[in-house]
Amino acid sequence: MKLLVLCVLVFSEMEWSRADPVPDNGSADEDLVQRSASCPPGWSEYNNNCYNYVPRPMDWASAERTCISMGGHLASIHDMREHQEIQHMIRTASYQTKPTWIGGYNAQQTEPWFWSDGSRFVYTSWCPGEPNNTDGQQHCLQMNHSADKCWDDLYCGSQLPSLCKMKVEAV
């Protein structure tokens, strides 16, 4: 008898919790996609990418490994607007526009330059006279160099904070 009552309760609960289907006009799916894309806590979103400023100074390779461990790479920059947004993120996080590692490197040569995330290296914001590969030892890219806050090739073993980037993830 108890088993019969339990079965009746379970089936009646299932019937009560069943909802009418939502008409499919396409908007529900679009809203779901828009609401489900986000950055992890502590990351900032811009243009379908997530960015995280890492204030701890480290060499370029350690900074890249740190970004990879968080699901991204050192930041690649593809236009002036993204460059300005990233500078703003760094200023907000550090209260100044500090020299910061981003994902550019030249594979121990003078040219060409690459992004560690594999994207095309098209946009640049080099300081005048850069990249200059001083003493043949500058193969990694820092941003916010000098008063001009431009890009500079730097010795990869230098200790700088860094900026990670990853695509917005669906959660």
- Which of 81, 128, 72 is CA-nearest to residue 101? 72
Q: What is the pLDDT of residue 114?
A: 96
The larger pLDDT score, comparing residue 40 to residue 20, is at 40
Q: What mean pLDDT is predicted for residues 106-128? A: 92
2 DSSP 8-state letter? H
CA angle 128/129/133 to nearest 5° reads 135
Q: What is the pLDDT of residue 170?
A: 52
**CATH of segment(s) 37-170:** 3.10.100.10
Q: How many CA atoms lie within 13 A of 5 on its CB side?
A: 2
Q: What is the pLDDT of residue 55?
A: 97
Q: What mean pLDDT is predicted for residues 111-134? A: 95
Asked if residue 78 has pLDDT above 70, the reply is yes
CA angle 61/66/36 to nearest 5° reads 135
Q: What is the pLDDT of residue 108?
A: 74
Q: What is the pLDDT of residue 137?
A: 93
CB atoms closer than 10 angstroms to residue 131:
20
Whether the CB-CB separation of 153 and 138 falls below 8 Å is answered with yes
Local confidence band at 24 (pLDDT 50, 70, 90 cut-offs):
very low
Whether the CB-CB separation of 159 and 140 falls below 8 Å is answered with no
The larger pLDDT score, comparing residue 156 to residue 10, is at 156
Whether the CB-CB separation of 76 and 119 falls below 8 Å is answered with yes
Asked if residue 7 has pLDDT above 70, the reply is no
Asked if residue 1 has pLDDT above 80, the reply is no
The larger pLDDT score, comparing residue 85 to residue 170, is at 85
Asked if residue 61 has pLDDT above 50, the reply is yes
